[in-house]
Every structure is written in C-alpha cells, then in structure tokens.
Amino acid sequence: MGLFNTSSTADLSVGMPAPSFELADQTGKTHNLKDYLGKWVVLYFYPKDDTPGCTKEACAFRDDIATLQSLDVQVFGVSIDSVKSHADFAEKFSLQFPLLADTGGDIANSYGSLTKLGPLKLAKRHTFIIDPKGKLAKIYRSVNPASHSDQVIADIKLLQN
C-alpha cells in the first residue's frame, strides 16, 4: 500500500440502495438516511472545513438552498472534521444545512469517498443524489466547487421529470 490509498469498498452505481448513515451535524443533532425517505437527498463529501474549494462549494449550496428546498431536496455536507469544526465553519459562512461529522471516515468509505495521505484521512469531493426511495440517482466523482450546486439543481430537475 502506497502513500495514497483510495478506498475501493464502494463500487456504487445508479439504481443501487444508498449506503445508510447516522451522523451528528454541527449542532449535535443526529441524522439518519432512513429518516429522509420520501425526500430527495444531496449528500456531498468534501475534504476540509474552511478551505478555499470547500468554502466555495458550501457557500454555493447555501446560496441555492431556497431553490433546493423548493424541489423538496435535503442537502448534507459530509467531511471527516469534528462537530466543533463544522459548527465554526457553519457559523462563519451562515451555512443553514447540516454538515455531518464523519470523524472515523466510515460513511465516506462506504461511499468510496475516503482517501488517505499517510496517516491523514480526508473525504474526496464526491456528491450523491439519493431519490425518495433511498436509491442512488446520480453520482459525481468529479466536482467543480464553483458550479456544482447549479449542476446538481439542473440534474435534480431532470430526475424529477
């Protein structure tokens, strides 16, 4: 195993059930995927709170949250950072959607979105749209933080029609 180790546990594809999760957000509230059956879910993984690309992506989702909510979409950001780190990040940038603390990296790993740099673990910038039945509707393994929210909204509108 080399310095860069990418998890390969998740050979996920569209139509498969989304891996379940139960994680605390920046306020300490626990979110479980099964509690969101009947809604569209955008689960986006990102490497690190309060870094340039991650801030750009989070702020774009923040700015588009009313549009996403009008489409009956629940947005979750997920990283390996702590609840406290998420709380600081959410407060600093007025992020009004849950940031889930996957401190052990288990959920990122189940989605094939965990990478290791030596002893350091990070979530890769991947996004998953989960349909109201809990199945994967769209998988993004390559994300541009600046335009990603717009891309997700356009794809959700197509998926809903």
Residue-wise pLDDT tens for the chain (161 aa)? 333 334 344 588 999 999 999 999 999 999 999 999 999 999 999 999 999 999 999 999 999 999 999 999 999 999 999 999 999 999 999 999 999 999 999 999 999 999 988 888 899 999 999 999 999 999 999 999 889 999 999 999 999 98
Largest pairwise CA distance in the chain: 46
pLDDT of residue 120: 86
pLDDT at 116: 87
Q: What is the pLDDT of residues 38-59, one digit of tens each?
A: 999 999 999 999 999 999 999 9
pTM: 0.91
Would you kindly state where each structural domain of the chain is located, as residue ranges?
Answer: 16-160
In this structure, CATH architecture of domain 16-160: 3-Layer(aba) Sandwich (3.40)
pLDDT reported for residue 32: 96
Q: Please list the alpha-helical segments (H only) found in the chain.
A: 52-63, 65-70, 83-93, 106-110, 148-160
Catalytic residue among 42, 54, 58, 122: 54
Q: Is residue 54 annotated as part of the catalytic site, yes or no?
A: yes
**pLDDT of amino acid 79:** 96
**For tokens 């790993």, what's the residue?**
109
How much helix, strand and coil, in percent to the nearest 5, is found in the chain?
30, 25, 40
